[in-house]
Structure formats: C-alpha cells, structure tokens
A = this chain, B = another copy of it.
C-alpha cells in the first residue's frame, strides 16, 4: 500500500492510495457490498459510478457463503466479479448492530447467527483469518463498536479491550499484500479517543479509522469527535471515517481532514425510492411524479437520468419492478461519487471553503 498526498487545502487532503488491485483517489467514498454484491447493481455499474473501492462485511460473508466458498474462487474479488480494491470490515460493527445477539469476553464475541440462530465465535484472530481468506486489499482490526450512550467507565473498558484486540490483530496478521487499519474507539469521550489513537499508533497500522460514530449520537457530538481527533491522526496515513454518511457529513469529514468514507445510505435509500440531488431529496414514489417527464436531476450523467423520466422510475416502484431499485441505486452512487470528485477538484484548486459554503447554502439539510 502506498499513500501519497498530492494537495492540501486547510487540513483537507487530496491523495492517491495505491492498493494491490488499483488506485483509490482520495477523499474516497466506498459503496457497501455487504454480502459480496453492492445491492441491486453489477460490478461493472459500480465501476461506471467512479467508485474505486468497495466494502465487504467479514461477519456476513463468513456466515454466507462461508470462507470455504470464497477460497475455492481464489478471493472475494473473483467470487463477486469485482477486480478493484476491497476493504473488509472486521465484524466489530456487528458487535454493536447485533447487540442483542452476542456475548463478549476477552477472547472475543459469541454471536447468535441472524440466519439460523447457531453460535458463531469471532475474535481478533478469527476475524483476521477470515479477512485473509477474503484477501481484501485493506483489512480492519476486530474491535468493539461502543454503543451510545456509554458511561465514561464503560467506554474506557471497551476502548481498552479494543486496544488489546488491536494488538492481537496486528500480531496475527500475516497477509503481505493486505493493509491493516486500526480503529479509534472511546465513545464520545474525547480523552478516551485520544488515548485510543495513541495506543493504536504505538502498535502501528497502515491507516487509522474513526469507529463508533453514527451509532445514534446527535450530529454535533459526532462532529466534536471528528474535529478533535482527526488532527492528531498520523498525517502520512489514510484516515477513514467509518459508516458515514449523508452528503453533508462527507463534506464536513473532508473539511476535517478525512480521506475515506463508507455508508449504506446511497444504496439503501435508493431501494426505498429516496434520491439525492444537490437541492434535496426526491421521493420518487410521490404522486406528483406521475406524469413528470424530467430526469431525477438535470445535468446528471447517470444511467437513470440519461434515459429515464421520474414518471417511469415512479412507475417501476409502484409496480414492484426491481429495475427501479437498480436505476435509483445508480443515481445515488453517481451523486455521491460526483460530490467526492468535486471535493477532490476543489482541494486541488484550494477552493474547498467556497465549495462547501455553496454546498451548504444550496442543500436542504432538513431532508
């Protein structure tokens, strides 16, 4: 892995991240392909949206199809027909999202499988081993995604365990072509976050992530962590804000010096007919779109806007035709990637400030 910063504007950075399967232009948004597919679109369509890298979920892939199935294909890339870079999360997020289905101890986490209720154990070594089998370009340490709210004591104990697990991940990680990123936890307690970052830097990772955000906290608390912790993250390593976010969060993150993002929002919302535009969200099912021959967004070059009307897309949703989910997913992915490209260009021209001011003035954040 080779990370080069090509330009800066304030603390925002414009870089390139060279990985075994290709180069990622940063700041980058990573679509989420939970179980080996970015839902409702093909790998070729993900590529056309100018996505350089996608995310796969270790926990879900371990359950289905199982590491053995992916091993017989060679790696996750060959299994899912995506030859570009992949980042795999570690399963740590499921420690939070499946909180009612798991037990934690120092060794790791015992889950009840959401598929068949069977017991599944995942600890640092197991997570690294599965990510080795997936052969992703970037692996994440297995951590405990701290819930919100968490008392200082609970957040501290959780953060310290995540640090011990991070050290075990580092020790068990042997894949020479796979980068390994550490994850900063600590809840909303800034001193705990700082201690976590310090501990991770001592262990030493190829990149550093902010985890445990976007877990139900008010937005100003997330921004407080983002603004306080990002400046202390090693400047020569990629900085990844996990599970974030809305378009405005991406702009805020880039302004704070973040290089990588992932979120299910563009794909999940598309499947519900929520479409992003620069002036707000279009709810495509709405009756007012019934005879609307306009595209979702003028001047958008995505496959949905180039060829189809709002009325047609609405019709697809109303009749339950899955082509609608696909076209809307493509629109949202193109929208997110165009936003990232515009921010990269703005940093190069040292105009991120005016870009972001115009962005916040024109966007209806209420939606």
By a beta-carbon cutoff of 8 Å, the part of chain A in contact with chain B is: 35-37, 39-43, 64-65, 68-69, 72-73, 79-81, 290-291, 293, 303, 307-309, 311-312, 314-316, 318-319, 321-323, 325-327
How many angstroms between the C-alpha atoms of A325 and B178 in the bound complex?
Answer: 33
Please give the distance in Å from A218's CB to the nearest CB on chain B: 34
Contacts of A40 in B (CB 8 A): 321-323
Docked pose: A312 CA to B311 CA in angstroms:
34
CA distance A303 to B43 in the complex (A): 11
Residue of B64, B79, B290, B323 touching A309 (CB-CB under 8 A): B79
* Contact A321:B35 (CB < 8 A) given known A64-B315, A309-B79: yes
Taken together, the copies of this chain in the complex come to 2
Chain B residue numbers with a CB within 8 Å of A293 are: 72-73
- CB of A65 within 8 A of CB of B325, answer no
What's the Cα separation between A68 and B315 when bound, in Å?
13
Closest residue of chain B to A327 (Cβ to Cβ) is B42
Query: In whole angstroms, how far apart are the Cα atoms of A80 and B303 in the complex?
Result: 13
Q: Would you call A69 and B316 a contact (CB within 8 A)?
A: no
Query: Which residue of chain B is the closest to A316 with respect to CB atoms?
Result: B37
Q: Tell which of B303, B323, B325 touches A41, judged by Cβ atoms closer than 8 Å.
A: B323
**With contact pairs A42-B323, A315-B65 given, residues A309 and B37 touching in the complex (Cβ less than 8 Å):** no
Chain B contacts for A73, CB-based, 8 A? 293, 309, 311-312
Whether A312 contacts B68 in the complex (CB less than 8 A), given A37-B323, A40-B323, A323-B42, comes out as no
Establish whether residues A69 and B37, one from each chain, have CB atoms under 8 Å apart when the complex forms. no
> How far, in Å, is A21 (CB) from chain B's closest CB?
16
A321–B79 CA distance with the chains assembled, in angstroms: 15
Q: Nearest Cβ in chain B — how far from A206, in angstroms?
A: 29
A315–B326 CA distance with the chains assembled, in angstroms: 19
Report B-chain residues with C-beta under 8 Å of the C-beta of A308: 81
16 additional contacts (CB under 8 A) given A40-B323, A81-B308, A322-B326: A35-B319, A37-B323, A41-B323, A42-B303, A42-B326, A42-B327, A43-B307, A64-B315, A64-B319, A65-B311, A65-B318, A68-B291, A69-B311, A72-B291, A73-B311, A322-B325
